[in-house]
Amino acid sequence: MALSNDVRTRRRLGHAGLILLAFFHCGRVWLSNIGRARAFRISRAAQPEDSTADGTDWDQELRRVTERLKQKELQEEGLSATKPLFRQSDEWTVERVELQDGVPPVGSVLMANPRSFLDKVTPVAAMRTGWMPSLESSRRDKARLPVVLITRRTADSLQGVLLGSWSGKLLGDMDAQYFMTRPLYIGGVNVSGLSMVHSYPEMPGSWELIDGLAASDDFNMACDWIENGPGSALRFKFFWNQVVWRMDEIDELAPEQGIWIPVTVSGDLLLREPDSSFEDPLWAQYALKAGGELKELGERFGLFPPDA
Ligand SMILES: *[C@@H]1O[C@H](CO)[C@@H](O)[C@H](O)[C@H]1NC(C)=O
């Protein structure tokens, strides 16, 4: 191998990217030193979004970036509107799933139970995801509850990534030389660096989550895969850091705790990016599709749009 992995990563992520990574890293150490209260504020700041859909600065910024994204995607992929890369939305599903040995299976998605996040906050679960109660009471703010995709189970932990917590950055903003139009999501508060969820289980170094959906953490491999292999950049999602449950913490996931509700979400629905900033938070979207208890909870807590 001509170049060490480090050098290749540096080339591919670019200088600004590295500085940002270093900042994230130092920031994390700093955070753990000054305590969790601030970590909350930081991760909250990482997902500012709009509180109403009526055109705040952030709202406009998001819309601008979304448009930029779409245009670039069309150019890069040479896609026509008649050739969608993703399956139609009527095939997207969200369904309840059973625990396996008391643990949600890899590939399942944990939906925060509003009873434990809005009614009476369960601090440990909230801290684990960096979530904090909203001071504003808009419906959309309340509906921005944690949604975690479980990506790995090891001998001593269960790991996942927060879905839908956008950092406000694209990989290109970090000077990455590949995947420039892809958004970077905050995967959680536990340090793990960059990881990916994508639709290529056959990509070396990947592990399958559900049918047609895989995870990996080798950025170089992903670059090779879209440069020389069959991969499309549009079928990757990027996460910085993750959510972790140690094995002695997984009691939190037991159904009788009423903290998390496990579901499975079809791969295309998981991989898609929002079309606009007017889209509802993921929690509300998934809960409506899931129906049953989740829909009832969403209704009870007023988390759905009036026309839902
Ligand atoms: C994850 O991060 C939290 C907050 O800093 C920390 O308390 C916890 O020990 C970390 N868990 C693991 C498994 O690293």
CATH code at position 285 = 3.40.1740.10
Centroid of chain to Cα 102: 24
Task: Output the pTM of the full model.
Answer: 0.77
DSSP string, 42-85: HHHHTS---SSSS--HHHHHHHHHHHHHHHHHHHHHT--TTS-S
161 inside domain: yes
Report the distance separating Cα 109 and Cα 171, nearest Å: 24
pLDDT value at position 175?
A: 84
**Cα-Cα-Cα-Cα dihedral sign, residues 158, 45, 34, 239:** positive
Give CA–CA dist 298/281, Å, rounded: 12
Residue nearest to atom 14 of ligand 1 (CA): 190
Distance CA 172, CA 94 (A): 31
Distance 48 CA to ligand 1 centre (A): 23
* Ranges under pLDDT 70 in the chain: 1-90
pLDDT at 28: 41
The verdict on residue 24 lying in a domain is: yes
- Indicate which residue's Cα is closest to atom 3 of ligand 1: 190
Say if 158 falls within a structural domain: yes
In a domain, 222, yes or no: yes
pLDDT in the model for residue 26 = 38
- Backbone conformation region of residue 305, classed left if phi is above 0, alpha if psi is from -120 to 50, else beta: beta
Has residue 88 been placed in a domain? no
For residue 240, give every residue at least 6 positions away whose Cβ sits within 8 Å of its Cβ, in sequence order, or none: 24, 167, 184, 185, 186, 187, 193, 194
* pLDDT of 85: 53
113 domain residue, yes or no? yes
What's the pLDDT score for residue 8?
A: 57
Ligand 1 pocket residue status of 190, Cβ below 6 Å = yes
**Residue 3 phi, psi (nearest 5):** -115, 140
Ligand 1 atom closest to 189 (CA):
2
Alpha helices, DSSP H only, in 144-210?
Answer: none
Whether 221 and 203 have beta carbons less than 8 Å apart is answered as: yes
- Ligand 1 within 6 A of CB of 30: no
pLDDT attached to residue 60:
63
Q: How far is it, in rounded angstroms, from Cα 249 to Cα 246? A: 5
Q: Give me the domain span that covers residue 111.
A: 5-79+93-300
Q: Classify residue 85: in a domain, yes or no.
A: no
Q: Report the pLDDT value the prediction gives residue 157, as an integer from 0 to 100.
A: 96
pLDDT score recorded for residue 132: 83
Instruction: Name the token pair of 254.
Output: 């037991």
147-153 vs 190-198, strand pairing mode: unpaired
* Cross-strand partners of 244: 159
Q: Which of 116, 101, 220 is nearest to 153 (CA)?
A: 101
The alpha carbon of 29 is separated from its chain's Cα centroid by a whole number of angstroms, namely 22
Does 194 fall in a domain? yes
CA of 45 to the centre of ligand 1 (A): 20
Q: Select from 30, 190, 243 the residue to mutate for testing ligand 1; criterion: most ligand atoms less than 8 Å from CB.
A: 190
Q: How far is CA 251 from CA 109, 248, 257, 262, in A?
A: 17, 7, 8, 14
CA distances from 140 to 1, 89, 143, 277, 279 (A): 50, 22, 5, 11, 10
- Find out whether 243 and 161 touch, Cβ atoms under 8 Å: yes
Predicted local confidence at residue 23, as pLDDT? 45
Q: Cα(33) to centroid of ligand 1, in Å?
A: 12
Chain centroid to Cα 283, Å, comes to 12
- Residue 250 in contact with ligand 1 by CB distance below 6 A: no
Select from 244, 248, 249, 250 the residue to mutate for testing ligand 1; criterion: most ligand atoms less than 8 Å from CB. Answer: 244
Say how many domains are in the chain: 1
